């Protein structure tokens, strides 16, 4: 697996899209820092970009990379290598190279603006951890969807719908339900519903840390109220790990039963 991972990263590190992704974050972060040198504010702005963009790019890259390397995967499958090593290696290669682009793209500008001497370093680290976790979750989901669907257009469509669902539709439904059933006690439901969406969960992790939950919608406030900072962090972190594991388990069970 490590060898497949190594070559996947090697291949992706030469892809122009990896650099476009890196350059986008670099320019965007630099622009925000130029507009406001208050690191805390920039971290909050970056949070919104990271929460939407990381899942979207990971989803698109995941599907594209899987379909583009389909024939090469067949060549690898004919080698004396375990099936699962090939898919996990490719998935980790993709998620890692996207994460490296993200880390460097955001990390370099912040370093220039004196991050290491500021009090916001922990908030910044939470932002990066969330970005990386979302990249891993959504590239895993995309890999799983692509593995399940031979038809590329269908696979692409489903992956985009999955992203749209978690990034936009889910919150819409969530808020509608809260509105319709506002007469009832909804605290436990809200908490549970929040855990089911990794983007909401990342948002909460950041909000709890940044202490601006009141500004960022209902789900964040609920989470803060019920779990408190330390416990909330632990639960959210644990569920986020579960979210990373879920597509990996899906990839494993599908890959072991699939014909190539």
Partner 1 sequence: MITISNLFKSYGRQKILKGIDLDFNKRGCITAILGPNGSGKTTLIKSILGMVLPEKGKILVDGKSIKGQCAYRSQIDYLPQIAQFPGNLHVQELINMIKDLREGQTSEARLIELFDLQPFLNKKLRTLSGGTKQKVNLTLALMYDSPIVILDEPTSGLDPIALTRLKALIREEKERGKFILLTTHIMSFVEEIADEIVFLLDGNIYFRGSKKELKTQFQEEQLEKAIANILLGEKKKNNIKVPFKAINGKHIRRQKPALKI
CA separation for the pair 242, 136 (Å, rounded): 12
Stretch that binds partner 1, among 69-77, 137-145, 189-197, 220-228 (CB under 8 A): 69-77
75 is an interface residue for partner 1 by CB under 8 A: yes
* Helix (H) or strand (E) run with residue 107 in it: helix 83-112
Residue in this structure with the two tokens 């996947």, named with its chain if needed? 8
Phi, psi of 22, deg, nearest 5 = -60, -45
- Six token digits for residue 150: 């031979």
253 is an interface residue for partner 1 by CB under 8 A: no
* Residue 228: Cβ within 10 Å count: 11
249 is an interface residue for partner 1 by CB under 8 A: no
CA separation for the pair 129, 136 (Å, rounded): 11
Q: Which of 77, 108, 239, 246 binds partner 1 (CB under 8 A)?
A: 77
- Six token digits for residue 188: 């436990």
Q: Which of 19, 30, 40, 83 binds partner 1 (CB under 8 A)?
A: 83
259 is an interface residue for partner 1 by CB under 8 A: yes
Exposed/middle/buried for residue 201 (C-beta within 10 Å: 0-12, 13-18, 19+): buried
154 is an interface residue for partner 1 by CB under 8 A: no
How many binding residues for partner 1 (CB under 8 A)?
27
| Shortest Å, Cβ 217 to partner 1 | 41
Q: In 113-182, which ranges are continuous DSSP H helix?
A: 121-148, 152-164, 170-180
From residue 10 to residue 49, the character string flagging contacts with partner 1 as x (rule: CB under 8 A) and all else as - is: xxx-xx----------------------------------
Q: Which of 4, 60, 133, 142 binds partner 1 (CB under 8 A)?
A: 4
Closest to 88 (Cα-Cα) out of 151, 2, 28, 19: 2
**Is the Cβ of residue 4 or residue 47 nearer to partner 1 in the bound state?**
4
2 is an interface residue for partner 1 by CB under 8 A: no
- Asked if residues 156 and 200 have their Cβ atoms less than 8 Å apart, the reply is no
**Is the Cβ of residue 42 or residue 255 nearer to partner 1 in the bound state?**
255
151 is an interface residue for partner 1 by CB under 8 A: no
| Shortest Å, Cβ 254 to partner 1 | 12
Q: Which residues bind partner 1 (CB under 8 A)?
A: 3-4, 7, 10-12, 14-15, 68-72, 74-83, 257-260
């Amino acid at each position: 697996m490590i060898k497949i991972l190594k070559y996947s990263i090697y291949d992706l590190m030469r892809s122009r899209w990896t650099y476009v992704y890196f350059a986008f974050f670099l320019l965007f972060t630099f622009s925000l820092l130029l507009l406001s040198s208050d690191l805390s504010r920039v971290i909050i702005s970056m949070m919104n970009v990271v929460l939407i963009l990381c899942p979207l790019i990971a989803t698109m890259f995941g599907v594209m990379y899987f379909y583009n390397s389909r024939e090469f995967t067949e060549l690898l499958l004919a080698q004396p290598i375990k099936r699962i090593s090939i898919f996990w290696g490719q998935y980790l290669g993709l998620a890692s190279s996207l994460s490296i682009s993200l880390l460097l793209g955001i990390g370099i500008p912040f370093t220039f603006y004196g991050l290491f001497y500021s009090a916001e370093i922990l908030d910044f680290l939470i932002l990066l951890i969330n970005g990386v976790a979302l990249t891993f979750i959504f590239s895993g989901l995309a890999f799983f969807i692509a593995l399940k669907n031979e038809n590329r257009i269908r696979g692409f469509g489903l992956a985009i719908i999955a992203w749209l669902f978690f990034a936009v539709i889910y919150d819409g439904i969530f808020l509608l339900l809260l509105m319709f059933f506002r007469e009832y006690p909804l605290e436990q439901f809200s908490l549970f519903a929040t855990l089911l969406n990794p983007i909401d969960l990342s948002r909460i992790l950041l909000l709890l840390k940044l202490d601006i939950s009141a500004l960022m919608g209902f789900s964040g406030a609920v989470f803060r109220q019920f779990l408190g900072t330390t416990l909330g962090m632990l639960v959210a972190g644990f569920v986020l790990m579960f979210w990373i594991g879920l597509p990996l388990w899906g990839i494993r069970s599908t890959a072991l039963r699939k014909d190539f």
